[in-house]
Amino acid sequence: MENAAPALRPPRAITCRSLAWGFARIGLSGIGGVLPYAHRTIVTEERWLDDREFTEVLSVAQLLPGPNIGNVAILVGTRFRGAAGAAAALGGLFVPPLLVFLVLAMLYRQFAEIAWLKRMFVGIGAAAAGLILGMGLKLAVALPRKMWAAAIALAALGAAVVWRIPLPWVVLGLAPLGILCAWRWRG
């Protein structure tokens, strides 16, 4: 990234309309997660951010509460067009796919009781569980090899699966504890 010329700025002005349109493409493109498409649209195609800026925005988006991609939309929108830009980016990101989801919701309600479809959905549900587990495994492999990290991951797992503790308590307890551990045993 060092030798990339600093002035590879967007080919055209960043307006609320272009933000909405860009994030609409991101929102409608992802199957099983939209983040890879976000990088392609924001960095490669629209050149709103360079690679380093994108990584920074993404890490802040992950830190703040809420959906990561939604936070990326707000951070990028605000940076270029303030509150209006944030609203435009957020609207572009969520409204078009929401319309798709509404149609799917109606179709499911209409047809899910058909016996063979119901059986297919049992299989699909198991696959969805597997896909999410697989994502969890990938994330687990990337964790720092530290006792505190394993302990917190297991505590969160037990709280959610075994003890069924409401999530706000789990987060309020384990998030500060995790950050404290990461700071205490940093490096």
* Contact between 97 and another protein per CB under 8 A: yes
- Residue from 17, 60, 81, 114 that binds another protein (CB under 8 A)? 60
Cβ count within 10 A of residue 117: 13
Q: Is residue 6 at the binding interface for another protein, with CB under 8 A as the rule?
A: no
- Residues 109-148 touching another protein, rule: CB under 8 A, are 109, 112, 116, 119-144, 148
69 is a site residue for another protein (CB under 8 A) = yes
Considering the rule CB under 8 A, would residue 28 count as an interface residue with another protein?
yes
Judged by CB under 8 A, the stretch of 1-9, 11-19, 40-48, 160-168 that binds another protein is 160-168
Cβ-Cβ contacts under 8 Å for 74 (sequence gap 6 or more): 86, 89, 90
In this structure, the number of other CB atoms found within 10 A of the CB of residue 80 comes to: 19
Q: Using CA atoms, how far apart are residues 58 and 35, in angstroms rounded to an integer?
A: 9
Answer yes or no whether residue 16 interacts with another protein by CB under 8 A.
Answer: no
Q: Is 112 helix (H, G, I), strand (E, B) or coil?
A: coil
Cα separation, 89 vs 18, whole angstroms: 9
- CA separation for the pair 92, 179 (Å, rounded): 33
Question: Minimum Å distance from CB 168 to another protein?
Answer: 5
Q: Which of 14, 16, 19, 74 binds another protein (CB under 8 A)?
A: 74
The answer to the question of residue 43 lying near another protein (CB under 8 A) is no
Q: How many residues bind another protein (CB under 8 A)?
A: 101
